Structure 1
């Protein structure tokens, strides 16, 4: 991770005579557009407590935790696409929705009464999940890179 001092020094150097390449500015705008204003970010956690869930070669298990909400994700890669089966606990309540996001695609899913959701056919690469609960701030996972 880049610290603030390094970032500011790099910006000072970049503001010299060399113009910023167009693709850099475009990528920065794209990255800024992926944020969820006001959201709480759930951090990756040890998945040791997810016993009983398969973890074969084509499946990756990821857990994200924040105060009051846990995401358990099983990411499966097949035929060049990603499938996500997830569980949010505790149950976030009636009307809660999940966004399964890539940089270029967002699939919105309803959460079952048991806290489960699924999304299929996502492109490989970066992935994040956002839980929208009525009356609460959104909770998002950090972005993770899923490779085939």
Structure 2
């Protein structure tokens, strides 16, 4: 048999009258700020051409594809930080730039005519790259966790 106090507490929870903890609301707002409106999401793809080329201590290779673009990222570790060298193919054209993002930091770089870019000194953890192309929707990679 269910007592009345237990039943009323269950009804309050179901009705949503139980307040959401502050840290949960803050985390939800932080994640919402990381979205890129109307972006196309690039998904991980096999990177067979570079697999096994470097030793286990060498750079980590990651490839993403979407909307006719390929993102090739080479991630290296040093002094507790990560460096990212990348290329977007085919080259998105003049005025294209990339944002290399962590949850707390975004570094923007203009793409070289070859589609190359580089960012150094990022903290290890979650990483995403967004390519902004004039006249087209941005393309963003999925978030990946990079650890030494």
TM-score range, shorter chain: 0.7 to 0.9
Q: For the pair shown, which has the larger CA radius of gyration, 1 or 2?
A: 2
Alignment of 1:80-119 (within 5 A): 80-119=80-119
Deviation readout 1:81-129 (Å, 9 max, x if unpaired)? 1100001000110110010000110000011111100000011111000
Which structure 1 residue ranges, 5 or more long, are not aligned?
1-12
Query: CA 1:52–1:86 in structure 2 vs 1: closer, same or farther (change >3 Å)?
Result: farther
| Alpha carbons of structure 1 residues 38 and 55: separation in structure 2 relative to 1, 3 Å | farther
Q: Deviations over 1:39-70 (max 9, x none)?
A: 00000011113468535324211000013100
**Using a 3 Å threshold, how does the CA distance of structure 1 residues 78 and 129 change in structure 2: closer, same or farther?**
same
The residue aligned with 1:35 is 35
After superposition, residues 11-30 of structure 1 pair within 5 angstroms as 16=16, 18-30=18-30
1:74 CA drift (Å): 0.5
- TM-score for both structures, normalised by structure 2: 0.85
> CA distance change for structure 1 residues 16 and 108 in 2, over 3 Å: closer, same or farther?
same
Which range moves more in the overlay, 111-120 or 45-54? 45-54
Mapped to 2, the partners of 1:53 and 1:116 lie a distance apart of 20
Which ranges of structure 2 fall in alignment gaps of 5 or more residues? 1-12
Q: Is the 8 A contact 2:34 2:103 kept in 1?
A: yes
The answer to whether the 8 A contact 1:58-1:78 is kept is: no
1:141 equivalent to 2:112? Answer no
Give the Å deviation of 1:21: 1.3
Across the two proteins, how many residue pairs are aligned to each other? Answer: 136
Report the RMSD for the aligned CA atoms in angstroms: 1.8
Shift of 1:32: 0.4
Partner of 1:68: 68
How far did 1:77 drift?
1.3
